[in-house]
Structure 1
């Protein structure tokens, strides 16, 4: 490699590290002017420079013109496409890569496995796993972590557990991937158990698993575990200085029914971003405190925080749950006019729900007709729910028909329409619709409640009498009813 080429390579790497676009372009131009191309090392550095500057189309153009592509140049594109969530583009390089007869290294597989997880191609991911084992790269923690993450995100949690247990040296990334995978798949007890095991084994925590664990606690309503995790966070950070963790704590306490703690965490945070404000707005809304949500929203605006799509979904949903029709309309109209945010399908669904709950069924239907995009199932579902509440047969039939087309296998839409017919006494329509459901093989999903007792989740389904403690629970329930009846008599 000539002295000039070496110098330009060094300049390109510096420009890549600092995203210095103008200087990097000049170095590329000099390489062409001085006739230094083609040159594998120099061309690879040019690919790296454009990729790091997020100009992937230019990086790929240079790559396509390389007569002799290096393994490093492939890895740059594999990684850059995966990091930018262009998973299909990353995997499209596989055919030329295999044809090149180059051997992958330990830097190749994490990007490819991430792309498989991104598009949900578990078959290709399993093929890469076999390749990893064949080449002996399973001894590298970063590769094993990527394999584990791919299985977890593709829903094969048991396979992910096997990879986790077979990894001899687990770093915090491996632990976090496994905990997050269990949390995402709804295996809350196992996720919490693994989180405790992490600390028993003295592994240093980098906080990335904390939001997943807090989400599990919130979803399960496990306030005791949530508080225990919060205690560990305080010991590690001495305050709520991590934004992602702080936001997750606000959400967890709200889902566990403790809105006061959510507000305390919010006030204790040294920094609040738009996610923090949006989360608190949503928390008040879920608890039916729409006016408080609006106060937080106005305070957010006064602090100069720019609302985003999620913020508007939260505030519109809050207005809907609290019946604040005029306020919701005002917020919806201000989205594009005052804040430059164009309403999405989710925002229209919130407005349809808001209008429907208030009994303005025809206005909701008219809003749907004016939508600039195709109404989704969530929009028609909100309208159908409103029709069920207000016993509007005509619009209910329109909504249900659209839902039958969009969600052909969803039995709840048929059940909702049956409920409308039943409420207005159209028994023939009820019988006809139930017959149609039987012909389609549809079964109504039973209602379900659950409670966590001593780390074990107990689920109770409507009409289910097979729980081992059913007799004992019914006895206690009967006793409570008698005690309440007695108390009412004494008060009378």
Structure 2
């Protein structure tokens, strides 16, 4: 066979090696390359590197990379991208360092995975340097690279910088909008996330299955059930609800956070497919609304359907028992975590169990549970115990819990306030004075509380005099009947 035909055939074979099952074919092609004396062919070298990388055998890929007498830009990009895809960020940075020492300049294929590595490792300084490279090399116009820069700033929590990059982008696709919306949502800026979503629709960008969960999360956190229902309507129109489990899970969570538990139930039972997250979300929703028995019943049904709980599911069940005061059931669940499900007790499991026992006044048992912990007790566990002591005015155990919390969270004023409240309820004024003096010494002040509720626009007419007083009851009944 002529040289060109052999090389072309081997190259075609190697480019079809895209998964771990292709490794045997890649090795055979590699052997043929060596036998036929074609190893000096740069294209075949790069194809071998790509085949090993796509097959997931990065050590083979790295060995191939190291012995390559010539490395083109494509080979460097393959190695960098492969390490990032396998979450081997340190190796990615090592290759990048070697790349720069060779005097090479990154291109629009090199930089996106490196930005991803910077975001994953929290290396903000390196990310800033890379952004400088993007500007210096005039690469801002590449959409994928611009999205990577934006995503880096978002994941590092620098939303102001992310917004500047976002505003400067000439073309913004759905991925860019999703990144901004989810970033603001994760940071707790739910109003801003909803405003971005509104702007996205105004620009004519179509929503997709990736953007909907982030928007629904923002609706739930903000308590904006009207906007949540609007999104739900859009989902139904584009026939995503029945087929996308993640969207169904987000709808369940959103309605629950907005106080519409019956709507969460409707979504749950209408879903054609459930996964473990679906069951866990619905169990948690029942628990948050104080319906512990329904939560336990659903937990049993989940197991009957063949789903085995994980650590998060068991935390949701324990929290449900805590919110409903189901002590015996909670004890049984807690004890079964290790014995039945072979899962190691986590900090969250202990915190839920201590909270349950503390609420019901079983403070000695809760304290004993903490002392039996294999790992070091955390602030969430001691905080649950202190809350129980404050509820039942137990100063002895309360002082122990507070002392641990003062060491773990010296700047958390709520711990000092809780201990002071215990002293105050028992008339122990010297303890109150001592705690407040300590707070003043540390420069701590009590955080003022606040609450709010969003009510339909119809009520605004009442404030303008358009409604009679007797009509208020009708509006409120309408809100209640509509599960608001």
TM-score range, shorter chain: 0.7 to 0.9
Structure 2 counterpart of 1:155: 157
Are residues 81 and 347 of structure 1, via their aligned partners in 2, closer, same or farther at CA, if it must alter by over 3 Å? farther
8 A contact 1:349–1:382 mirrored in 2 = yes
Counterpart of 1:314 (choices 313, 316, 320) is: 316
For residues 176 and 197 of structure 1, the distance between their equivalents in structure 2, rounded to whole angstroms, comes to 12
Q: CA RMSD in A?
A: 2.8
Question: Residues 403 and 55 of structure 1: is their aligned pair in 2 closer, same or farther, counting only changes over 3 Å?
Answer: farther
Match of 1:299 among 291, 298, 301: 301
Q: Distance in 1 between matches of 2:8 and 2:382?
A: 63
Give structure 1 stretches of 5+ with no counterpart. Answer: 456-471, 473-479, 481-492
Q: Cα distance, 1:349 vs. partner? A: 1.7
Assess, with a 3 A threshold, how the Cα gap between structure 1 residues 402 and 300 changes in structure 2: closer, same or farther.
same
Q: Evaluate the alpha carbon distance shift between residue 53 and residue 314 of structure 1 in structure 2; reply closer, same or farther with a 3 A threshold.
A: farther
Moved more, 34-43 or 14-23: 34-43
Q: 1:276 maps to which residue?
A: 278
CA deviation digits over 1:201-244, x for unaligned, max 9? 22232221111111111001111111111111111116432111
Residue in structure 1 matched with residue 96 of structure 2 by the alignment: 94
Q: CA deviation at 1:397?
A: 2.2
Query: Runs of 5+ in structure 2 lacking a partner?
Result: 458-463, 465-471, 473-484
Q: 1:177 aligns with which of 154, 176, 179?
A: 179
Q: 1:361 to 1:10 in 2, by over 3 A?
A: farther
Kept in 1, the 8 Å contact 2:209–2:240? The answer is no
- Counterpart in the other structure of 2:368: 366
| Residue of 260, 264, 270 corresponding to 1:258 | 260
For the residues of structure 2 that align with 1:173 and 1:189, how far apart are their CA atoms? 20
Q: CA 1:136–1:397 in 2, change beyond 3 Å: closer, same or farther?
A: same
Q: TM-score, normalised by structure 2?
A: 0.86
Q: 1:116 aligns with which of 115, 118, 122?
A: 118
1:450-461 alignment, distance < 5 Å:
450-452=452-454
Deviation at 1:57, TM superposition (A): 4.7
Paired residues, what number?
458
* TM-score normalised to structure 1 length: 0.85
Distance, in Å, in 2 between the alignment partners of 1:89 and 1:406 is 35
Q: 1:394-441: CA deviations, max 9, x gaps? A: 222222222222222222222222222222222212212221221112
Deviation at 1:12, TM superposition (A): 3.7
From 96, 106, 110, the equivalent of 1:104 is 106
Aligned-residue offset at 1:124: 2.3
Residues 1:387 and 1:101: Cα distance change in structure 2 (over 3 Å): same
Q: Secondary structure at the match of 1:408?
A: coil
Q: For residues 153-177 of structure 1, what are the alpha-carbon distances to aligned partners after superposition, in whole Å with 9 as ceiling and x for unaligned?
A: 2222222222222222221111211
Pairwise CA distance, 1:179:
1.8
In 2, the alpha carbon distance for the partners of 1:197 and 1:296 equals 40
From the superposition, tell whether residues 134 and 285 of structure 1 become closer, same or farther in structure 2 (CA, over 3 Å). Answer: same
Name whichever of 214-223 and 187-196 sits farther off: 187-196
